Protein backbone atom coordinates (compact mmCIF):
# COMPACT_ATOMS: atom_id res chain seq x y z
CA UNK A 1 0.00 0.00 0.00
CA UNK A 2 1.40 3.35 -1.08
CA UNK A 3 0.50 6.31 1.15
CA UNK A 4 1.29 10.00 1.26
CA UNK A 5 1.50 11.28 4.80
CA UNK A 6 1.93 14.74 6.26
CA UNK A 7 5.66 14.99 7.10
CA UNK A 8 5.67 18.53 8.53
CA UNK A 9 3.45 21.59 8.69
CA UNK A 10 4.05 24.30 6.10
CA UNK A 11 4.66 27.96 6.85
CA UNK A 12 3.16 29.86 3.93
CA UNK A 13 3.31 28.02 0.61
CA UNK A 14 3.52 24.22 1.12
CA UNK A 15 6.57 22.48 -0.32
CA UNK A 16 7.05 18.87 -1.47
CA UNK A 17 9.00 18.02 1.70
CA UNK A 18 5.89 18.69 3.81
CA UNK A 19 4.79 15.31 2.42
CA UNK A 20 6.35 11.84 2.56
CA UNK A 21 5.60 8.66 0.62
CA UNK A 22 5.47 5.52 2.74
CA UNK A 23 4.81 1.88 1.97
CA UNK A 24 2.69 -0.21 4.34
CA UNK A 25 1.12 -3.67 4.04
CA UNK A 26 -2.30 -3.75 2.34
CA UNK A 27 -4.80 -3.87 5.23
CA UNK A 28 -7.37 -6.65 5.70
CA UNK A 29 -11.08 -5.77 6.03
CA UNK A 30 -12.88 -6.65 9.25
CA UNK A 31 -16.54 -7.61 9.65
CA UNK A 32 -18.78 -5.02 7.91
CA UNK A 33 -15.84 -3.57 6.02
CA UNK A 34 -14.48 -3.62 2.49
CA UNK A 35 -10.98 -3.43 1.02
CA UNK A 36 -10.72 -0.69 -1.59
CA UNK A 37 -8.33 0.01 -4.42
CA UNK A 38 -8.32 3.77 -4.96
CA UNK A 39 -8.82 4.86 -8.55
CA UNK A 40 -9.24 8.61 -8.24
CA UNK A 41 -8.42 10.98 -5.46
CA UNK A 42 -9.72 14.52 -5.18
CA UNK A 43 -7.38 17.43 -4.46
CA UNK A 44 -9.21 20.38 -2.90
CA UNK A 45 -8.21 23.75 -1.44
CA UNK A 46 -9.54 22.82 2.05
CA UNK A 47 -6.58 20.42 2.45
CA UNK A 48 -4.32 23.43 3.08
CA UNK A 49 -6.33 24.01 6.28
CA UNK A 50 -5.92 20.35 7.33
CA UNK A 51 -2.12 20.74 7.06
CA UNK A 52 -2.21 23.53 9.61
CA UNK A 53 -2.56 23.12 13.37
CA UNK A 54 -4.58 26.37 13.61
CA UNK A 55 -8.09 25.90 15.00
CA UNK A 56 -10.68 25.48 12.24
CA UNK A 57 -14.01 23.83 11.50
CA UNK A 58 -12.35 20.40 11.14
CA UNK A 59 -9.46 18.72 12.94
CA UNK A 60 -5.97 18.96 11.44
CA UNK A 61 -4.21 15.96 9.91
CA UNK A 62 -1.59 14.82 12.42
CA UNK A 63 2.08 14.58 11.46
CA UNK A 64 2.66 11.08 10.07
CA UNK A 65 -1.04 10.64 9.23
CA UNK A 66 -2.30 9.97 5.69
CA UNK A 67 -3.51 13.17 4.01
CA UNK A 68 -7.31 13.26 3.86
CA UNK A 69 -9.28 13.23 0.60
CA UNK A 70 -12.44 12.14 -1.06
CA UNK A 71 -11.79 9.14 -3.30
CA UNK A 72 -13.42 6.96 -5.93
CA UNK A 73 -12.48 3.34 -5.39
CA UNK A 74 -13.09 -0.20 -6.53
CA UNK A 75 -14.12 -2.86 -4.03
CA UNK A 76 -11.47 -5.62 -4.03
CA UNK A 77 -12.80 -7.64 -1.11
CA UNK A 78 -16.04 -7.32 0.83
CA UNK A 79 -17.19 -8.43 4.24
CA UNK A 80 -20.54 -6.66 3.92
CA UNK A 81 -23.57 -8.09 2.08
CA UNK A 82 -24.30 -4.83 0.18
CA UNK A 83 -20.97 -4.74 -1.65
CA UNK A 84 -19.13 -7.15 -3.92
CA UNK A 85 -15.75 -7.06 -5.67
CA UNK A 86 -15.82 -4.78 -8.69
CA UNK A 87 -18.33 -2.30 -7.22
CA UNK A 88 -17.30 1.35 -7.58
CA UNK A 89 -17.84 3.56 -4.56
CA UNK A 90 -17.26 7.04 -3.22
CA UNK A 91 -15.20 6.89 -0.04
CA UNK A 92 -13.14 9.23 2.09
CA UNK A 93 -9.93 7.24 2.00
CA UNK A 94 -7.23 9.87 1.56
CA UNK A 95 -3.96 10.00 -0.35
CA UNK A 96 -3.22 6.28 -0.71
CA UNK A 97 -3.52 3.37 -3.11
CA UNK A 98 -5.57 0.99 -0.91
CA UNK A 99 -7.77 1.38 2.14
CA UNK A 100 -10.21 -0.41 4.38
CA UNK A 101 -13.54 1.33 4.95
CA UNK A 102 -16.75 0.67 6.86
CA UNK A 103 -19.40 -0.21 4.29
CA UNK A 104 -21.85 2.22 5.88
CA UNK A 105 -19.57 5.18 5.05
CA UNK A 106 -19.64 4.43 1.29
CA UNK A 107 -21.87 5.60 -1.53
CA UNK A 108 -22.23 3.30 -4.54
CA UNK A 109 -21.56 4.90 -7.95
CA UNK A 110 -23.15 3.90 -11.23
CA UNK A 111 -20.56 4.10 -14.06
CA UNK A 112 -23.42 4.09 -16.60
CA UNK A 113 -24.90 7.30 -15.20
CA UNK A 114 -21.82 9.52 -15.42
CA UNK A 115 -18.03 9.04 -15.44
CA UNK A 116 -17.26 8.00 -11.86
CA UNK A 117 -14.65 10.77 -11.44
CA UNK A 118 -17.51 13.31 -11.47
CA UNK A 119 -18.43 12.12 -7.95
CA UNK A 120 -15.41 14.17 -6.82
CA UNK A 121 -16.36 17.29 -8.78
CA UNK A 122 -19.52 18.46 -10.46
CA UNK A 123 -21.62 15.60 -8.99
CA UNK A 124 -19.79 15.63 -5.66
CA UNK A 125 -18.71 17.94 -2.87
CA UNK A 126 -17.65 20.94 -5.02
CA UNK A 127 -20.79 20.85 -7.17
CA UNK A 128 -22.89 20.53 -4.05
CA UNK A 129 -21.09 23.49 -2.48
CA UNK A 130 -22.03 25.63 -5.48
CA UNK A 131 -25.63 24.39 -5.52
CA UNK A 132 -26.41 24.79 -1.84
CA UNK A 133 -24.40 27.97 -1.32
CA UNK A 134 -25.77 29.78 -4.34
CA UNK A 135 -29.41 28.74 -4.13
CA UNK A 136 -29.85 28.84 -0.36
CA UNK A 137 -27.72 31.88 0.48
CA UNK A 138 -27.20 33.71 -2.82
CA UNK A 139 -30.80 33.32 -4.00
CA UNK A 140 -30.21 34.70 -7.52
CA UNK A 141 -33.26 36.06 -9.32
CA UNK A 142 -33.90 36.50 -13.03
CA UNK A 143 -32.11 39.54 -14.41
CA UNK A 144 -29.76 39.91 -11.42
CA UNK A 145 -25.96 39.93 -11.76
CA UNK A 146 -24.03 37.10 -10.12
CA UNK A 147 -20.23 37.27 -9.87
CA UNK A 148 -17.93 34.40 -8.93
CA UNK A 149 -14.14 33.96 -8.98
CA UNK A 150 -12.13 30.76 -9.44
CA UNK A 151 -14.74 30.45 -12.18
CA UNK A 152 -13.00 27.72 -14.16
CA UNK A 153 -12.88 25.41 -11.12
CA UNK A 154 -15.56 22.96 -10.00
CA UNK A 155 -17.25 25.30 -7.52
CA UNK A 156 -17.12 28.52 -9.58
CA UNK A 157 -18.10 26.92 -12.90
CA UNK A 158 -21.18 25.36 -11.29
CA UNK A 159 -22.12 28.61 -9.54
CA UNK A 160 -22.20 30.52 -12.84
CA UNK A 161 -24.08 27.83 -14.73
CA UNK A 162 -26.72 27.44 -12.02
CA UNK A 163 -27.10 31.24 -11.91
CA UNK A 164 -27.76 31.16 -15.67
CA UNK A 165 -30.37 28.42 -15.23
CA UNK A 166 -32.08 30.74 -12.72
CA UNK A 167 -32.13 33.50 -15.35
CA UNK A 168 -29.39 35.65 -13.84
CA UNK A 169 -26.38 37.18 -15.61
CA UNK A 170 -23.20 35.34 -14.68
CA UNK A 171 -19.81 37.06 -14.63
CA UNK A 172 -16.77 34.85 -14.00
CA UNK A 173 -13.33 35.87 -12.78
CA UNK A 174 -10.41 33.62 -13.65
CA UNK A 175 -6.64 33.72 -14.06
CA UNK A 176 -5.43 34.05 -17.64
CA UNK A 177 -6.95 34.07 -21.15
CA UNK A 178 -7.26 30.29 -21.47
CA UNK A 179 -9.36 29.94 -18.33
CA UNK A 180 -11.42 32.99 -19.28
CA UNK A 181 -12.17 31.49 -22.70
CA UNK A 182 -13.36 28.26 -21.06
CA UNK A 183 -15.59 30.17 -18.65
CA UNK A 184 -17.20 32.19 -21.45
CA UNK A 185 -17.30 29.76 -24.38
CA UNK A 186 -17.77 26.39 -22.69
CA UNK A 187 -19.55 27.26 -19.43
CA UNK A 188 -21.61 30.01 -21.08
CA UNK A 189 -20.98 32.84 -18.62
CA UNK A 190 -21.98 36.27 -19.97
CA UNK A 191 -18.43 37.56 -19.44
CA UNK A 192 -15.13 36.39 -18.01
CA UNK A 193 -12.58 38.79 -16.52
CA UNK A 194 -8.91 38.00 -15.96
CA UNK A 195 -7.90 38.96 -12.41
CA UNK A 196 -4.27 39.19 -13.51
CA UNK A 197 -5.03 41.98 -16.00
CA UNK A 198 -3.62 45.37 -14.94
CA UNK A 199 -7.05 46.89 -15.61
CA UNK A 200 -8.97 44.12 -13.82
CA UNK A 201 -11.08 46.38 -11.58
CA UNK A 202 -12.18 48.60 -14.50
CA UNK A 203 -12.98 45.58 -16.68
CA UNK A 204 -15.10 44.10 -13.91
CA UNK A 205 -16.97 47.38 -13.48
CA UNK A 206 -17.65 47.53 -17.23
CA UNK A 207 -18.98 43.95 -17.18
CA UNK A 208 -21.41 44.81 -14.34
CA UNK A 209 -23.22 47.97 -15.54
CA UNK A 210 -26.11 47.30 -13.12
CA UNK A 211 -23.86 46.49 -10.17
CA UNK A 212 -23.60 43.11 -8.40
CA UNK A 213 -26.52 41.41 -6.65
CA UNK A 214 -24.82 38.17 -5.65
CA UNK A 215 -21.10 37.78 -5.09
CA UNK A 216 -20.16 34.16 -4.40
CA UNK A 217 -16.87 34.62 -2.54
CA UNK A 218 -14.21 32.01 -3.34
CA UNK A 219 -10.97 33.97 -3.16
CA UNK A 220 -10.84 37.25 -1.19
CA UNK A 221 -7.75 39.41 -1.71
CA UNK A 222 -7.72 41.90 -4.57
CA UNK A 223 -10.72 40.27 -6.23
CA UNK A 224 -12.81 41.23 -3.20
CA UNK A 225 -11.39 44.76 -3.33
CA UNK A 226 -12.64 45.11 -6.93
CA UNK A 227 -16.05 43.56 -6.23
CA UNK A 228 -16.85 45.44 -3.03
CA UNK A 229 -17.60 48.93 -4.50
CA UNK A 230 -19.92 47.35 -7.10
CA UNK A 231 -22.25 45.64 -4.61
CA UNK A 232 -25.88 46.71 -4.86
CA UNK A 233 -28.30 47.40 -2.02
CA UNK A 234 -29.52 44.03 -0.63
CA UNK A 235 -26.60 42.16 -2.26
CA UNK A 236 -26.02 38.64 -0.91
CA UNK A 237 -22.46 37.39 -0.37
CA UNK A 238 -22.15 33.67 0.41
CA UNK A 239 -18.58 33.34 1.73
CA UNK A 240 -17.43 29.96 0.49
CA UNK A 241 -13.67 30.26 0.35
CA UNK A 242 -10.75 32.69 0.65
CA UNK A 243 -8.08 30.89 -1.31
CA UNK A 244 -6.01 34.06 -1.86
CA UNK A 245 -5.14 33.97 1.82
CA UNK A 246 -4.73 30.22 2.54
CA UNK A 247 -0.93 30.45 2.22
CA UNK A 248 -0.74 33.81 3.99
CA UNK A 249 1.59 34.34 6.95
CA UNK A 250 1.31 37.27 9.33
CA UNK A 251 -0.94 40.31 8.93
CA UNK A 252 -2.68 41.04 5.64
CA UNK A 253 -1.47 43.67 3.19
CA UNK A 254 -2.95 47.14 2.87
CA UNK A 255 -5.14 49.38 5.02
CA UNK A 256 -7.76 48.22 7.52
CA UNK A 257 -10.89 47.70 5.43
CA UNK A 258 -13.26 46.87 8.25
CA UNK A 259 -14.81 50.32 8.91
CA UNK A 260 -15.71 50.79 5.23
CA UNK A 261 -17.00 47.23 4.99
CA UNK A 262 -19.24 47.73 8.03
CA UNK A 263 -20.48 51.07 6.68
CA UNK A 264 -21.68 49.37 3.49
CA UNK A 265 -23.10 46.37 5.36
CA UNK A 266 -25.28 48.94 7.10
CA UNK A 267 -26.07 51.44 4.35
CA UNK A 268 -26.55 48.85 1.59
CA UNK A 269 -28.18 46.20 3.81
CA UNK A 270 -25.65 43.59 2.69
CA UNK A 271 -26.00 39.96 3.72
CA UNK A 272 -22.58 38.35 4.21
CA UNK A 273 -22.86 34.74 5.28
CA UNK A 274 -20.09 32.15 5.56
CA UNK A 275 -20.86 28.46 5.19
CA UNK A 276 -19.34 25.00 5.10
CA UNK A 277 -21.18 22.79 2.61
CA UNK A 278 -21.96 19.96 5.03
CA UNK A 279 -24.35 22.27 6.91
CA UNK A 280 -26.74 21.79 3.94
CA UNK A 281 -26.42 18.00 3.78
CA UNK A 282 -30.24 17.67 3.77
CA UNK A 283 -30.20 19.07 0.24
CA UNK A 284 -27.93 16.33 -1.14
CA UNK A 285 -30.69 14.23 -2.73
CA UNK A 286 -32.16 17.33 -4.41
CA UNK A 287 -28.68 18.27 -5.62
CA UNK A 288 -28.02 14.84 -7.14
CA UNK A 289 -31.40 14.93 -8.87
CA UNK A 290 -31.08 18.51 -10.22
CA UNK A 291 -27.41 18.45 -11.11
CA UNK A 292 -27.69 14.95 -12.62
CA UNK A 293 -30.52 16.24 -14.81
CA UNK A 294 -28.65 19.40 -15.85
CA UNK A 295 -25.59 17.40 -16.85
CA UNK A 296 -27.68 14.87 -18.75
CA UNK A 297 -29.45 17.59 -20.75
CA UNK A 298 -26.23 19.57 -21.34
CA UNK A 299 -27.23 22.62 -19.29
CA UNK A 300 -24.27 22.16 -16.97
CA UNK A 301 -20.80 21.37 -18.32
CA UNK A 302 -17.67 20.52 -16.39
CA UNK A 303 -13.94 20.24 -16.91
CA UNK A 304 -11.59 17.87 -15.14
CA UNK A 305 -7.81 18.14 -14.84
CA UNK A 306 -6.65 14.57 -14.25
CA UNK A 307 -3.02 14.10 -13.20
CA UNK A 308 -1.44 10.62 -13.28
CA UNK A 309 0.08 8.88 -10.27
CA UNK A 310 -0.27 9.15 -6.51
CA UNK A 311 3.30 10.50 -6.23
CA UNK A 312 2.22 13.55 -8.31
CA UNK A 313 -0.29 14.62 -5.62
CA UNK A 314 1.95 16.95 -3.56
CA UNK A 315 3.13 19.05 -6.55
CA UNK A 316 -0.37 19.12 -8.05
CA UNK A 317 -1.86 20.23 -4.74
CA UNK A 318 0.73 23.00 -4.27
CA UNK A 319 -0.10 24.19 -7.80
CA UNK A 320 -3.86 24.18 -7.09
CA UNK A 321 -3.42 26.89 -4.47
CA UNK A 322 -1.80 29.08 -7.13
CA UNK A 323 -4.11 28.38 -10.04
CA UNK A 324 -1.94 25.82 -11.91
CA UNK A 325 -4.93 23.48 -12.28
CA UNK A 326 -7.26 23.78 -15.25
CA UNK A 327 -10.60 22.38 -14.06
CA UNK A 328 -11.43 20.03 -11.20
CA UNK A 329 -8.08 18.62 -10.02
CA UNK A 330 -8.07 14.85 -9.66
CA UNK A 331 -5.25 12.33 -9.24
CA UNK A 332 -5.66 9.07 -11.14
CA UNK A 333 -4.08 6.68 -8.68
CA UNK A 334 -4.43 3.31 -10.35
Compute the distance between CA of residue 307 and CA of residue 75 in angstroms, rounded to an integer. Answer: 22
Residue 183 C-beta: closest distance to ligand NDP, Å: 9
Task: With beta carbons less than 8 A apart as the criterion, state whether 102 and 7 touch.
Answer: no
Residue 304 C-beta: closest distance to ligand NDP, Å: 10
Q: Closer CB to ligand NDP, residue 33 or residue 157?
A: 157
What residues are paired with 148 via a beta bridge? 172, 216
For 41, residues 6+ apart whose C-beta sits below 8 A from its C-beta are 69, 70, 71, 72, 93, 94, 95, 120, 310, 313, 330, 331, 333
Hey, is 72 helix, strand or coil?
Answer: strand
Residue 105 C-beta: closest distance to ligand NDP, Å: 19
Q: Closer CB to ligand NDP, residue 75 or residue 158?
A: 158
Half-sphere CA count of 172, side-chain side, radius 13 A: 34
Task: With beta carbons less than 8 A apart as the criterion, state whether 37 and 310 touch.
Answer: no
Residue 142 C-beta: closest distance to ligand NDP, Å: 25
Residue 78 C-beta: closest distance to ligand NDP, Å: 31
The beta strands (E) that lie in 11-144 are given as: 19-23, 33-42, 71-78, 88-91, 98-102, 107-108
Residue 164 C-beta: closest distance to ligand NDP, Å: 17
The footprint of ligand NDP (CB under 6 A) covers 44-46, 126, 129, 149-150, 152-156, 174-175, 179, 195, 218-219, 221, 223, 240-241, 243-244, 275-277, 320, 323, 325, 329
Task: With beta carbons less than 8 A apart as the criterion, state whether 70 and 94 touch.
Answer: no
Q: Closer CB to ligand NDP, residue 29 or residue 126?
A: 126
β pairing state of 145-149 and 107-108? unpaired
Q: Closer CB to ligand NDP, residue 103 or residue 134?
A: 134
Q: Closer CB to ligand NDP, residue 2 or residue 326?
A: 326
Q: Closer CB to ligand NDP, residue 253 or residue 297?
A: 253
Amino acid sequence: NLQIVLASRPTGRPSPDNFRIVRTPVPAPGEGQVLLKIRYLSLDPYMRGRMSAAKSYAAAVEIGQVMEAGTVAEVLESRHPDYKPGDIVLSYSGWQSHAVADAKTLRRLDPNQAPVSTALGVLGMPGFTAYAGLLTLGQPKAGETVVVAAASGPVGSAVGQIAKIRGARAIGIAGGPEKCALVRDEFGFDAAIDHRSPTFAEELRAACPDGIDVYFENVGGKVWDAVFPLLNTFARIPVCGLIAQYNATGPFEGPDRLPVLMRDVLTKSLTIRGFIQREFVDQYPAFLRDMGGWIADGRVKYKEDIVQGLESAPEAFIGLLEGQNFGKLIIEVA
